[in-house]
Amino acid sequence: MKAPARNDKIRNIAIIAHVDHGKTTLVDAMFRQSGVFREGQEVAERVMDSMDLERERGITIAAKNCAVHWNGVKINIIDTPGHADFGGEVERAISMADGALLLVDASEGPLPQTRFVLKKALESGLRVIVVINKIDRKDARPQEVLDEILDLFIDLEASDDQLEFPLLYAIGREGTAQKTLEEKGENLQVLFDLILKELPAPAYDPAPPLQNLVYAQGYTAYPPRHPLGKVINGSVKSNDQLLRIAEDGSQPALKVTRLQTYDGIKVCPVDAAEPGDIIVLAGADEVMIGDTICNRESPKALPRIHVDEPTVSMRFAINTSPFAGREGKFVQSSKIRERLTKETLRNVSIQVEEGENRDSFIVKGRGEFQMSILIEQMRREGFELSVGRPEVIYRYKDGVRQEPIEHVYIDCEEQFMGIVTEKLSIRRGRMVNLVNNGRGRVRMEFSAPSRALIGFRDEFLTDTKGTGILNSLFDGYDDYRGDFPTRFTGSIVCDRQGEAVAYAIFNLEPRGRLFVVPGDKVYEGMVVGEHNKDRDIDVNVCKEKKLSNMRAAGKDDNILLTPVRPMTLEEAIHFIRDDELVEITPLTIRLRKIILDGIERHRVKGSELKAQREGA
């Protein structure tokens, strides 16, 4: 068989790292030293984290592309997300790459999300360069981390060639890299040279005409959609007659207004693109992710992109509270449907189905973190909606119900080991490994149902006094492990519409933790607090002190209320039960019951209890 040709003018590399291991900072340094930014140009830090949410949280959410030039070779860099919930982005990024850069913190070592992305890269047969970053940290332990990386490669069944990986040490913040710990790095030249030497150029078959596989979609106001893909075989010119091969095998013609490639962080118009290059086609609105773009004379489809199935679903619906439409710009179900459909076009790991009525939708994804990011994006865009509690997606095999299982990695102080183990055991978690290095901290590994982690992360941080680290990795499906309580407390529910009053809140504080402050507008069915006991109670937070013409000594004391910490979107989603919703507007996050009317809610609850007793 004839060996494929290679385009030595191009390298396509994916950068793999756990959250906060310095990946985006290293890319910044590569930009500066390769001449993307001119001398003295003012540039924001972490330019690849272009979304506001990415800058605020310090994480990469969407896979992005950029390009640098070194010694006449174009290096396309694909910045991959470091969180498993954005696995769809990871799988697309890996599919475009011919090699990978694995970045590992010199202190923390390879963590679970590193494992997830590296597993995808090794399965794709990519050659990997390992870079141990942040060697200037006081607690750096590069030699031990190198041993852990080797163990990880072996554990992931890397090939012999992949195990012989090139190694560099770096300080991404200073923009330096070096071959050994003893020498002092001056710049990233050794990294660029190693990329050109060790990572293969993209392979292609010179015989077939154009085959371009679409991996992602970009969006602007006009033209609205920009398919992004890699030229697998052949080459393309800006005026070529093209068509796309859709999932159903149809071959509609394409009208492309502009052919573009990456130069730095920008896309620039070009007249032609070579095999292996990553291109953007402006104006091809109808193209879907996974389609193959070919010449009209000889169309031939490539295998479509495969991503893992979603494991979590959430119910999205219009806001039906008494305060609906006061703060949001988009409140209609048609606008929510349009926005969710747009998300499925650019994110293959998101699926949307119609709900039980025309005003609700079932959104499926890879984890509740991915869902909360989508909701936060919609909230900032002016949408007003309500969402239910995340639910895992069950499967049935030979009539047996199976559920998604997570491999949970926990790093905490030794004194908290008991409470963490106890709470995960209640949630049907099983300890599979325990490492105590005698330094005061322990590393534990559990196999736990995905539903056990919904809401557990907040409890975990409280139990470990903010010092614990929890990461999880999807570990396939297993038989259903049984029921367990999701929350040991009830809800404090408002019984009328009005404004919260300090006098009423003060007298309700012994009942539990309140979520409202004086002056907040409330309505019947709104959850205003967390009850100490495991049942719900209806209260009047609008109750004022009765005034009379009689005064008594000591009865007019100044009321001092416990400060209320605003609940974040993630905390709200984790807190609610199955009979509750989170009401989300651009300005406010509220909790509410699905059935707002108190009398109707108690009647339904009584009917359910009666049915349970009769069934027993």
Decide if pLDDT at 589 tops 70. Answer: yes
CATH node for 5-202: 3.40.50.300
What 453-461 contacts at long range (C-beta under 8 Å, 24+ apart), as own/partner pairs, is 453/406, 453/408, 454/368, 454/389, 454/390, 454/392, 454/486, 454/574, 455/486, 455/487, 455/574, 455/575, 456/423, 456/424, 456/427, 457/574, 458/570, 458/571, 458/574, 459/423, 460/410, 460/420, 460/423
Give the number of residues written for the chain: 616
Given this model, what pLDDT does residue 16 score? 83
3-state helix, strand, coil in the chain (%, to 5): 25, 30, 45
User: Average pLDDT in the 120-136 region?
Assistant: 89
For residue 279, give the H/E element and its range: strand 278-282
SS3 130: strand
* Residue carrying the six token digits 């005003």: 359
For residue 79 the two structure tokens come to 């910045």
pLDDT, tens digit, 9 for 90 and up, residues 12-60: 998 888 766 677 788 888 888 776 655 444 444 444 444 555 555 555 5
Q: List all residues 6 or more positions away from 85 whose beta carbon is below 8 Å from its beta carbon.
A: 365, 366, 367, 368, 369, 370, 373
For residue 306 the two structure tokens come to 């495969």
Decide if pLDDT at 180 tops 80. Answer: yes
Given this model, what pLDDT does residue 565 score? 82
Half-sphere exposure of 170 (CA within 13 A, CB side): 31
User: Average pLDDT in the 442-468 region?
Assistant: 86
Domain ranges of the chain: 5-202, 205-295, 395-479, 490-544+559-611
| 3-class DSSP string for 163-192 | HCCCEEEEECCCCEEECCCCCCCCCCHHHH
Q: pLDDT-based confidence at 553, cuts 50/70/90?
A: low
Given this model, what pLDDT does residue 588 score? 92
pLDDT, tens digit, 9 for 90 and up, residues 90-108: 767 778 889 999 889 888 8
Given this model, what pLDDT does residue 44 score? 45
pLDDT, tens digit, 9 for 90 and up, residues 229-287: 888 888 888 777 888 888 888 888 887 778 888 888 777 888 888 888 888 887 666 77
Given this model, what pLDDT does residue 3 score? 64
CB 269 within 8 A of CB 260: yes
CB 474 within 8 A of CB 308: yes
The topology (CATH level 3) of 490-544+559-611 is OB fold (Dihydrolipoamide Acetyltransferase, E2P) (2.40.50)
Given this model, what pLDDT does residue 220 score? 46
For residue 458, give the H/E element and its range: helix 456-463
Decide if pLDDT at 86 tops 70. Answer: no
| The CATH number of domain 205-295, selected from 3.40.50.720, 2.40.30.10, 3.20.20.140, 3.40.50.300 | 2.40.30.10
SS3 151: helix
pLDDT, tens digit, 9 for 90 and up, residues 294-339: 888 878 888 887 666 788 899 999 999 999 989 889 999 999 999 9
* Residue carrying the six token digits 């959410």: 61
Report pTM.
0.75
Given this model, what pLDDT does residue 83 score? 56
Average pLDDT, the chain: 83
The topology (CATH level 3) of 395-479 is Alpha-Beta Plaits (3.30.70)
Please spell the DSSP secondary structure of 495-548, one letter per residue.
-S-EE--HHHHHHHGGGEEE---TT-EE-TTEEEEEESSSS-EEE-TTPPPPP-
Given this model, what pLDDT does residue 46 score? 45
Given this model, what pLDDT does residue 549 score? 60
Q: Across 220-265, where does the E strand assignment appear?
A: 225-233, 236-237, 242-245, 253-254, 258-263
Cα 71 to Cα 74: distance, rounded to the nearest angstrom: 9
